[in-house]
Each structure stands twice: as structure tokens, then as C-alpha cells.
């Protein structure tokens, strides 16, 4: 890139008015962008996109639509999973040279289920400043619109593609006392809901959030059983989907004292690793956490 590209045209447009972008301090800026409705962009994000010395993105064509909408002439450079090994060091070199680097994903907040996580890690390990520019987030938009409890939640990304993997992962998460949030593809949502109803129970509350912030935005709420019946294999589903599943009923969450009793009993007849694995299967809790708890109990019991 040339010096002219770095210093000229650092403005953005709001309501057809050109606004100058202030110079940015050297840092990696992680800029949240709209997940559908371009009106959700923040003024701080626009100023960062216009003022950055280097603008990196997953897909230059997608980002160009956003930049054109707000009159930003900054040239975007590609950084995605297929070129991260080459592009990542170049972006770190820009930081080393004292430049400001802005990173955006195709939509939403960078580092959430996208290759930007690697760049963020590398920048932190190298000692560079990392600045989040908050804004749109599909998991949070889905949680807010779902009507399900938001005091505790877990974003679990994408479920495994194969049925057994999905079953195992849902079983692993089944007893966590929090609302669960997943990304899902339209052609798998019916199968996923059927598996979730089987593993978590058909009466557990859930919401399928589709095309968030877009023209055909939809929140379909119900139990896992009801939603599974609605999104059966005969129904054609389109658009991007976030699946939100409510927490288990209070009675379904094992008390800590009950888990301790179970661990002690299992440890009488099998090694600690197997005892932890069996307890994880029975309770849905983390095998690693259960193993650590069993070691603590053995230490407390004197052996």
C-alpha cells in the first residue's frame, strides 16, 4: 500500500455529511459491524474504519458494501482462514511499524467464531494494544429477542455436524445452569432440534432466531418438542440462524453435595479418570472439572 492510500480521504459520511476521522493510536482495533441492517453501525466504528492505517477483513467484497454505504475510501485487505498464515504476520509488521490496524469480520463482532481469534492472540502475545470497538453481535441479539433468561448464558458456537457429535456435545452441556446459544445452518436446524429435544427433553424452552435485524427477521419460540415438530425435514428453511435454548429446570441440576457423593462412590470401584468420565456421563457436567473435584476430595479425605 502507498503512503497516499494511508493518509488521504480519512472521512466517513452520515446523513450525507462528510465527517473527518481523527488519527488513531497504533493498536489492533476489533470493529463490530452490522449483522444485517447497515443502520446498526456505530459512529465510533465508522471513525475507526475511516481512520485506520490498515483495514483487514474476511471478504473485501462484503466490507466494500459497508464502506461505500458510508463514503469510506479506505482500501480493505483480506484476512481469512485460508491466508491467515501469510496475512497475519504482515498485519503484525504494520503494528510493529507503528500503524493502526482495524479488523472486521463479514458481520458482527470479530473473534467470535471467525479466524480473527488467531490474529488477536498473536497481537496480545507480541505485546501490542488490542482495542475492542463494540457493536452488533448475533448471539446477544438472539438472546435479547428470545425472551429466555439472560442472567447467565453460554455461547457454544456451532454444534458438530455429525449426529453423534451433536448428541455428545448437547449431553455435555445439558446440566449447565445457563441459557445456551448456538449458531446453526438452515439445512440442519430440523435435525438439531430433534436431537436437542431427545437429549435435553422436549419440554425445554427454546427459540429459533432467523435473519436477525434483516427484513424477514423472525423469532419462533416454543419448547424443543414444538420447534422440532415445526422445523421437520419437510420444511424449507432459509437465512442465518441462531438457536437459543433455555436453562434446565432447577430440579435437573445436580447439587454439589450429590456430585461429591457420586464421585466418592464411583472412585471406590474404578480409577479417578474413569470415575470422572462416568460422573460426567451421568450428570452432564465437565469431565475435567469432575476429575479436579475428585482429586480435591481425595486430598481432603487423606488419600
pLDDT at 142: 98
Percentages of the chain per state (helix, strand, coil), in multiples of 5: 45, 20, 40
**CATH code reported for the domain at 3-136:** 3.40.1010.10
- Distance in angstroms (rounded) separating the CA atoms of residues 226 and 299: 47
Q: Does 146 or 283 have the greater pLDDT score?
A: 146
pLDDT reading at 250 higher than 70: no
pLDDT at 255: 65
- Residues paired with residue 18 on neighbouring β-strands, in sequence order: 13
pLDDT at 140: 96
pLDDT at 234: 64
Q: Does 288 or 198 have the greater pLDDT score?
A: 198
Percent of the chain with pLDDT over 90: 73
pLDDT digits over 19-40, tens only?
A: 999 999 999 999 999 999 999 9
Report CA-CA distances (Å) from 142 to 105, 154, 176, 243, 259.
Answer: 18, 12, 19, 8, 33
pLDDT at 72: 96
Nearest to 169 by CA among 26, 18, 287, 34: 287
Dihedral angle of Cα 203, 160, 158, 191, to the nearest 10 degrees: -40
pLDDT reading at 166 higher than 80: yes
pLDDT band at 5 (very low <50, low <70, confident <90, very high): very low
Percent of the chain with pLDDT over 70: 93
pLDDT reading at 137 higher than 60: yes
pLDDT reading at 11 higher than 60: yes
Mean pLDDT lowest for which of 196-200, 239-243, 287-291?
A: 287-291
pLDDT digits over 67-120, tens only?
A: 999 999 999 999 998 999 999 999 999 999 999 999 999 999 998 877 789 999
pLDDT at 254: 62
pLDDT reading at 224 higher than 50: yes
Domains 3-136 and 139-248 share a fold: no
pTM: 0.79
Q: What is the mean pLDDT of the chain?
A: 91
Using only the alpha carbons of the chain, give its radius of gyration.
23
pLDDT reading at 253 higher than 70: no
pLDDT reading at 302 higher than 80: no
What is the grid cell recorded at 131?
Answer: 482495542
pLDDT band at 280 (very low <50, low <70, confident <90, very high): confident
pLDDT at 2: 42
CATH superfamily, domain 139-248, is Tetrapyrrole methylase, C-terminal domain (3.30.950.10)
pLDDT reading at 233 higher than 80: no
pLDDT band at 1 (very low <50, low <70, confident <90, very high): very low
Cα torsion 72, 60, 212, 238: sign: positive
Cell 422440532, located at residue: 228
Name the residue ranges covered by the structural domains of the chain: 3-136, 139-248, 254-300
Element (H, E) at 191: helix 189-200
Amino acid at each position: 500500500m502507498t503512503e497516499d492510500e494511508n493518509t488521504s480521504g480519512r472521512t466517513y459520511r452520515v446523513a450525507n455529511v462528510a465527517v473527518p476521522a481523527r488519527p488513531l493510536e497504533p493498536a489492533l482495533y476489533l470493529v463490530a459491524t452490522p449483522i444485517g441492517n447497515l443502520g446498526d453501525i456505530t459512529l465510533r466504528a465508522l471513525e475507526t474504519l475511516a481512520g485506520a492505517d490498515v483495514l483487514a477483513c474476511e471478504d473485501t467484497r462484503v466490507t466494500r458494501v459497508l464502506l461505500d454505504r458510508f463514503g469510506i475510501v479506505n482500501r480493505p485487505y483480506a484476512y481469512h482462514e485460508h491466508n491467515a498464515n501469510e496475512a497475519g504476520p504482515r498485519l503484525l509488521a504494520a503494528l510493529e511499524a507503528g500503524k493502526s490496524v482495524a479488523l472486521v469480520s463479514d458481520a458482527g463482532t470479530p473473534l467470535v467464531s471467525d479466524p480473527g481469534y488467531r490474529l488477536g492472540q498473536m497481537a496480545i502475545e507480541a505485546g501490542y494494544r488490542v482495542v475492542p470497538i463494540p457493536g452488533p453481535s448475533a448471539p446477544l441479539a438472539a438472546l435479547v429477542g428470545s425472551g429466555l433468561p439472560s442472567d447467565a448464558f453460554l455461547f457454544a458456537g456451532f454444534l458438530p455436524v455429525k449426529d453423534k457429535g451433536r448428541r455428545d456435545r448437547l449431553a455435555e452441556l445439558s446440566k449447565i445452569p445457563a441459557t445456551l446459544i448456538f449458531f446453526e445452518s438452515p439445512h440442519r436446524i430440523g435435525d438439531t432440534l430433534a436431537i436437542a429435544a431427545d437429549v435435553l427433553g422436549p419440554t425445554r424452552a427454546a427459540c429459533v432466531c432467523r435473519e436477525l435485524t434483516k427484513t424477514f427477521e423472525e423469532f419462533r419460540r416454543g419448547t424443543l418438542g414444538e420447534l422440532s415438530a415445526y422445523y421437520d425435514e419437510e420444511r424449507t428453511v432459509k437465512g442465518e440462524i441462531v438457536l437459543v435454548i433455555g436453562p434446565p429446570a432447577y430440579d435437573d441440576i445436580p447439587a454439589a453435595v450429590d456430585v461429591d457423593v457420586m464421585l466418592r462412590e464411583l472412585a471406590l470401584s474404578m480409577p479417578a479418570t474413569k470415575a470422572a468420565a462416568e460422573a460426567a456421563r451421568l450428570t452432564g457436567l465437565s469431565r475435567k472439572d469432575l476429575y479436579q473435584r475428585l482429586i480435591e476430595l481425595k486430598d481432603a479425605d487423606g488419600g
